Structure 1
């Protein structure tokens, strides 16, 4: 097989694979209504065009290897960080629960980027790699654009492994209404709670903001939070009992507002202040099933 023929076969196979990923991306988007189709196609188009620009390094000639090859890799990595930030903004909580959509979308952007980068680079360059200058080898410098997405899912999987659990909070079945008698209403702080209303967790969690004082025990405050929410929404409450009328166990942690979203375990027997919760802290409440 002639070198140019081998290149065309590889190029066409990549084109078919990329088109297949784009079709899968559009289908998943329409199925789950994650964003408008127009916005999705714009993301793919703009992302691919941006990845095409480094193809201009073909003008450099032999100096492309290895210095500018590494430079393009660094640029691709930075573009991957920007792409990840954009996807997190557009998708919100759906990012964690729709990984196949994100991976197909990333593959579509990268695939079309490679398909546009390769002819531009080969047209501007006179470098021969092996027996022909027409090859996909230079476009491998674009692969780091996927690393931030892969890192995000790897990190999420790691953080989903719970810390060692010493105690769980249970809703006090026979307790009366929670009253904040000694609360200093001039020093209230606002906290945000993320919780699934139903244990199936098939739908994205809700986020609700509620006020509290620093000297209130966290468990007592969360009980009042549930009582107030279920009073306001009796037709769709936060479930606190399973099908056998047993209380769910609950685990709490706060997420710090940073790139890595580090978690900090919350002791429900300690006060809000002792748990070092601050204004607008995001608190995640999770049901935990004990295996006997």
Structure 2
């Protein structure tokens, strides 16, 4: 008796599901070719181009989320992946008449997918625009004299619970989340100093790095996370939490610069 042949099972990973959904959307857009006759072909082509342009713009975020190697900030990796996706979309759109209606493949209509690449660059431009800090932003530097605020002089009657988010080391790709108690009358920069000193004292094997290789303190920018379509609102490290408009349970991103 022959041993049973093991069945091959394909595991549906998020990346494969993302790719499948992407190609299905491309096929839906490409189906415009099947809905029109020769007289409406030009309009179908133009509409498909617009739709692929929009898809290229809104595809960047899910691409970065579901394809780990398409990390934000890796521009040329994103360009390469978008180019591969564009070629796959062209194959799907070009072969759709043959697969769905038994007609000849239409590689001319498949060129309507080219705006996918343009949409990617539109998104990058928009993303960089959102990252431009206002002209009055301030950086905070770790004091070289190791000075620290006198907590006895700070009003502790009103305290907020906030969260700091930042990579502990410059080379870290992920953000670490830290909870802290913030007196509303305390300056943001002062609390960040107290937080770093306290954290590094309790975690000597995994401290927050605030000096570069030349032992020069990094400059830090602080901002509140916003929706992806809004510009960042940078915070003033020399102002209190109340003056910065920070409320209970707010998250503050700290970024080395």
Which range, TM-score by smaller chain? 0.7 to 0.9
1:174 counterpart = 2:146: yes
1:209 aligned residue (152, 174, 178): 178
1:285 counterpart = 2:249: no
Indicate the residue corresponding to 2:71 in structure 1.
95
Query: How has the CA–CA distance of structure 1 residues 244 and 256 changed in structure 2, closer, same or farther, with 3 Å as cutoff?
Result: closer
Q: Which runs of 5+ in 2 are unaligned?
A: 1-10
8 A Cα contact 1:251 1:286, kept in partner: yes
8 A Cα contact 1:69 1:141, kept in partner: yes
1:276 counterpart = 2:245: yes
Indicate the residue corresponding to 2:156 in structure 1.
183
8 A Cα contact 1:192 1:208, kept in partner: yes
Indicate the residue corresponding to 1:104 in structure 2.
80
Q: Give the TM-score normalised by the residue count of structure 2.
A: 0.74
1:192 counterpart = 2:168: no
8 A Cα contact 1:52 1:114, kept in partner: no
Indicate the residue corresponding to 1:9 in structure 2.
none
Residue-by-residue CA offset, 1:142-176 (whole Å, 9 max, x unaligned) = 23333443233223444555554675423233325
1:141 counterpart = 2:117: no
1:232 counterpart = 2:194: no
Alignment length (residue pairs): 242
Alignment of 1:47-66 (within 5 A): 47-59=22-34, 60-66=36-42
Q: Which runs of 5+ in 1 are unaligned?
A: 1-35, 127-132
Query: How has the CA–CA distance of structure 1 residues 205 and 50 changed in structure 2, closer, same or farther, with 3 Å as cutoff?
Result: closer
Q: In the aligned structure 1, how far is the partner of 2:38 from the partner of 2:131?
A: 47
1:43 counterpart = 2:14: no
8 A Cα contact 1:191 1:279, kept in partner: no
Which SS does the other structure have where 2:147 is aligned?
Answer: coil
Alignment of 1:4-153 (within 5 A): 38-59=13-34, 60-90=36-66, 95-121=71-97, 136-153=107-124
Residue-by-residue CA offset, 1:230-288 (whole Å, 9 max, x unaligned) = 13321121122344544x14232314422234122322111112122344544333334
